A and B are shown apart, each in its own frame.
Chain A
Amino acid sequence: MKSFLNWAGKAFLAACFAFLVMTGFCVLYDNTPVHYPNSSGATDYTWAPHFLYTELTEGAGLGRTNNEGLMNPYDYSDGMEIDILVMGSSHMEAKQVAQSESVAGRLSALLSGKHVYNIGVSGHGFTTCCANFEAALRRYRPSEYVIIETSGLDFSAESLNAVLNGTVDEIPDHSTGLVGFLSKNPFLRLVYHQLSGFTGGGRKILEDEDEDDVPVNDGEESAFDRTLMDRVLCSLRESAAAYGTKILIFYHPTTQIDREGELLLPDDGAARAAFSDLCAKNDIIFLDMTERFQREYDENHLLAHGFFNSSVGNGHLNKYGHEMIADEIYKLIG
């Protein structure tokens, strides 16, 4: 018994040392901040403010959140003049690339002298962005454009109705309680993700992504109710008009490589055409990245998604994808 207790003491001490070592390792390997509540409602949550984050599980990102816990190189202060506001999901959050390489970062460089503010946060698919649109305008009052990202054009009537009724599910924060305390340790947080991956049949690359943003292969018909979508876009337009700003929605399709090495794009021509028509009707600029992605692949063998440590062409936007999108946006608004 005595020898067992002796060994248990050593094991406990060793576990503490190992925990410290692994925490240090995870600070460099995968250190994600915690969700904090956002009282402004511009996003469902924000990350911890002034947090130095690292990401090596997909791509390689190193950066610091600003005072609002958002991925911007500068702090935001009340009344600050914002020219362009970027809204979107984890693609716009762009934790996998350097902040200067994200769409917002590149637009800032291209539109020198203008303030581009990025409020892209994981899980904020198109419908969540629409739900938060009014609050975002109220908070930041962008003088020129609001840019909204979407990686899919497949929206259920239920999700569009939720936008119109103000009943879109909110993404919870988890900065308090035991979960909040434990998830502040990068090793424990990573272990939680890994174990979820093991028990759930694999870690999702685009975790928290809005289910509505899955591209559809419908071919013939648009993948949403046109009347409902028109009402959603109309409400966006009215909000934007009230704040004297314009809207740009860009769509970046997910791509695959087929067995012959050709780029496979979603067969969603009808959905894109319908969405484009509705945008035009509501004075919204619609940017479709499909052709640009195809051209970059055909001419330069470049893919917009995927990284040097993940599946080829799958996952989040990489630095080329961000560059292509920023370039096309610049052509439209620059």
Chain B
Amino acid sequence: MSFASIDFLIFFLAVLLGTALIQRVAGGRANQAFLLAASYFFYGYWDWRFCFLLLFVTAAAYVTARFSGKRLFFAAGVVIPLVVLGFFKYFNFFLSSFEALVGGDIRTLKIILPVGISFYTFQALSYVIDVKRGKISPERDFIKLALYISFFPQLVAGPIVKAKDFLPQLHEERKTTLKGIEYGVQLMVFGLFKKIVLADHLSVFVDDVFYAPAAYHWTTLILGAVSYSMQIYFDFSGYSDIAIGCAKCLGYDFMPNFNMPYISRNVTEFWRRWHISLSTWLREYLYIPLGGNRKGKTRQYINLFITMLLGGFWHGASWTFVFWGALNGLALCVDKLRRRDGESILGKASGVVLTYCFITFTWIFFRADSFETAWAVIRGIFTAQTGIVQNFMWTYVSVCLLVTASACAVARAHKRGLASTNGYYPVVSLNKVGGLTLFFTVCGLVIALAFTGESPFVYFQF
């Protein structure tokens, strides 16, 4: 059940109505049980068999965290989610890589990748580690822990909510309020606009270009890469907006997952603004345990590189993702080496442009299904290849919207004297005719302009 479907709309309205009623009639814990059942229904809608896997990961985290003082239990709490992830996501990859290395004919297994496995295993890990670190106490209520790991708004593609941020909310008196629905619904509509209007239309052109890069003129290949940079941003940030909006309607808060990443002046800043929940997860549970910056400069660079390499690998079982992670890791190291004092406006602007160009270049490896395809795109661009010229309208529309929104945010930050530019949503009051008119108009635009073909969320594959 995708967020961008009529099935989900019906499901969400039913859950919203149900939770509002149960909160008032039966109280918080019954509501949590209801949300848990809804989350398992949501997950089982894809393939009910994987509900058992989700339950297994949850039960393992529940038991091991309670005894995480004992080394064996803690190790099991870390290893079990990793083994589950490794088996379902990476087993065939390692097998085929081994086969390519030594030759021979090794049979791979037919393993279906469970939707969202990368996300909920990371959440289970964060819970066990947070308990071990003493940041939270072990959760005694299984329903609360199960809801934390399987809460449907973030179950299949994040944001990766950390246990210490979400579990305390389950111990508070959280209720569905009109104010929360007013904010949440508008965030969901913004997210839908990003996803089904912009990202999905862009996917048509991106799929064409990356399917047969040899067919296109070099300018079209550049436009294809730019289109993908727009597509993945609108797709994933749109998904995150819907997830955050859903949770808000139900009375819960998720951290923002994107903060205008394409206005970053360097790669370090980019990773503070892009997929924030993953970046912070990797920093807290990988980079810092590796030593972070506490063991000298050389070790810091190595740690950064390893973190990004594994971050790339987390995205998918393919060497192109590993290479993408390595490129970003190298860029972060180079960025750390640079001195950055007193940049002029021109320096800042060129930083934004260079960072965008570098990130877009790395996206080629992220999107391509193989190194051959990525190389065909890059070779086509740098050899001024001739071919089909396609000036795809939706790319220009997307760039214009993004630049306009960014300019508004920068101007707003400048006006308010803020040190850094933050993204914001112009949420209107739904108790006034003007606000309601604007809201209904945006809803109308989403319906009228939506791409209605098949185009799943990019991050579902991870």
Residues of A within 8 A of B350 (CB): none
Residues of A in contact (CB 8 Å), total 40
B97 on the A face (CB < 8 A): no
Residues of B within 8 A of A22 (CB): 441, 444-445, 448
Instruction: Report the minimum CB–CB distance from B421 to chain A (whole Å).
Output: 31
B447 on the A face (CB < 8 A): yes
**Within A184-238, which residues are at the interface with B (CB < 8 Å)?**
187, 190-191, 194-195, 197-199, 201-203
Please encode chain A, from 284 to 316, with 1 for each CB lying within 8 Å of some chain B CB and 0 for all others: 000000000000000001010000111111000
Instruction: Give the segment of B29-37, B50-58, B148-156, B203-211 that binds chain A.
Output: B203-211
Instruction: Report the minimum CB–CB distance from B104 to chain A (whole Å).
Output: 27
Residues of B within 8 A of A257 (CB): 208, 211-212, 215, 388
Instruction: Give the segment of B229-237, B341-349, B429-437 that binds chain A.
Output: B429-437
A29 on the B face (CB < 8 A): yes
Which of B5, B213, B394 sits near A198, CB closer than 8 Å?
B5
Instruction: Report the minimum CB–CB distance from B373 to chain A (whole Å).
Output: 9
Residues of B within 8 A of A313 (CB): 388
Using A194-B452, A257-B212, A258-B212 as known contacts, say yes or no to A311 and B447 having CB atoms under 8 A apart: no
State the CA gap A64–B388 with chains docked (Å).
31
Which of A17, A29, A309 sits near B433, CB closer than 8 Å?
A17
A280 on the B face (CB < 8 A): no
A10 near B448 with CB under 8 A, answer: no
Residues of B within 8 A of A14 (CB): 433-437, 439-440
B453 near A202 with CB under 8 A, answer: yes
Please give me the residue from chain B that is nearest to A258 by CB atom.
B212
Please encode chain A, from 24 to 46, with 1 for each CB lying within 8 Å of some chain B CB and 0 for all others: 01100110000000000000000
State the CA gap A262–B435 with chains docked (Å).
52
Residues of A within 8 A of B436 (CB): 10-11, 13-15, 18
Using A7-B431, A203-B452 as known contacts, say yes or no to A18 and B441 having CB atoms under 8 A apart: yes
Residues of B in contact (CB 8 Å), total 43
Residues of B within 8 A of A11 (CB): 436
Using A14-B440, A199-B6 as known contacts, say yes or no to A25 and B432 having CB atoms under 8 A apart: no
State the CA gap A301–B216 with chains docked (Å).
9
State the CA gap A258–B208 with chains docked (Å).
10
A310 near B204 with CB under 8 A, answer: yes
B444 near A21 with CB under 8 A, answer: yes
A10 near B433 with CB under 8 A, answer: yes
Which of B217, B432, B448 sits near A301, CB closer than 8 Å?
B217
B101 on the A face (CB < 8 A): no
Please give me the residue from chain B that is nearest to A7 by CB atom.
B431
Which of A15, A25, A187, A260 sits near B212, CB closer than 8 Å?
A260
B392 near A25 with CB under 8 A, answer: no
State the CA gap A199–B7 with chains docked (Å).
10
Please encode chain B, from 350 to 392, with 1 for each CB lying within 8 Å of some chain A CB and 0 for all others: 0000000000000000000000000000000000001111111
Residues of B within 8 A of A187 (CB): 444, 448
Using A10-B431, A18-B444, A311-B208 as known contacts, say yes or no to A194 and B390 having CB atoms under 8 A apart: no
A309 near B394 with CB under 8 A, answer: yes
A261 near B215 with CB under 8 A, answer: yes
Which of A19, A194, A261 sits near B214, CB closer than 8 Å?
A261
State the CA gap A22–B211 with chains docked (Å).
36
Please encode chain A, from 233 to 276, with 1 for each CB lying within 8 Å of some chain B CB and 0 for all others: 00000000000000000000000011111100000000000000
State the CA gap A7–B5 with chains docked (Å).
28
Which of B391, B431, B441 sits near A308, CB closer than 8 Å?
B391
A197 near B452 with CB under 8 A, answer: yes
**Within B423-462, which residues are at the interface with A (CB < 8 Å)?**
431-437, 439-441, 443-445, 447-450, 452-454
Using A18-B440, A26-B448, A202-B452 as known contacts, say yes or no to A308 and B390 having CB atoms under 8 A apart: yes
Residues of A within 8 A of B389 (CB): 301
State the CA gap A203–B6 with chains docked (Å).
15
Residues of B within 8 A of A25 (CB): 444-445, 448
State the CA gap A79–B207 with chains docked (Å).
52
Residues of A within 8 A of B214 (CB): 259-261
Using A260-B212, A261-B212 as known contacts, say yes or no to A312 and B447 having CB atoms under 8 A apart: no
State the CA gap A203–B452 with chains docked (Å).
6
Residues of B within 8 A of A194 (CB): 447-448, 450, 452
Using A21-B441, A261-B212 as known contacts, say yes or no to A197 and B453 having CB atoms under 8 A apart: yes
Instruction: Report the minimum CB–CB distance from B116 to chain A (whole Å).
Output: 23
State the CA gap A218–B181 with chains docked (Å).
57
Residues of B within 8 A of A29 (CB): 448-449
State the CA gap A310–B439 with chains docked (Å).
28
B393 on the A face (CB < 8 A): yes
Please give me the residue from chain B that is nearest to A205 by CB atom.
B453
State the CA gap A21–B440 with chains docked (Å).
10
Please give me the residue from chain B that is nearest to A21 by CB atom.
B441
Residues of A within 8 A of B437 (CB): 14, 17-18, 21
Instruction: Report the minimum CB–CB distance from A247 to chain B (whole Å).
Output: 34
Residues of A within 8 A of B452 (CB): 194, 197-198, 202-203
State the CA gap A14–B437 with chains docked (Å).
4
Please give me the residue from chain B that is nearest to A203 by CB atom.
B452
Please give me the residue from chain A that is nearest to B209 by CB atom.
A312
Residues of A within 8 A of B447 (CB): 191, 194-195
Residues of A within 8 A of B215 (CB): 257, 261-262, 301, 312
Please encode chain B, from 134 to 159, with 1 for each CB lying within 8 Å of some chain A CB and 0 for all others: 00000000000000000000000000
Residues of A within 8 A of B390 (CB): 308, 312
State the CA gap A262–B216 with chains docked (Å).
11
B441 near A311 with CB under 8 A, answer: no
Instruction: Report the minimum CB–CB distance from A306 to chain B (whole Å).
Output: 8
State the CA gap A310–B451 with chains docked (Å).
11
> Which B residues fall within an 8 A CB radius of A?
5-6, 201, 204-205, 207-208, 211-217, 386-394, 431-437, 439-441, 443-445, 447-450, 452-454
Contacts A13-B433, A18-B440 known; 4 new A-B pairs at CB < 8 A: A14-B433, A14-B437, A201-B454, A312-B215
Closest 10 CB pairs of A and B: A197-B452, A261-B214, A14-B436, A261-B215, A18-B440, A202-B453, A22-B444, A309-B393, A14-B437, A312-B208
Could you list some 15 contacts between A and B, CB below 8 A? A13-B433, A14-B435, A15-B436, A17-B433, A18-B444, A22-B445, A190-B448, A191-B447, A194-B452, A199-B6, A202-B452, A203-B452, A257-B215, A301-B386, A303-B388
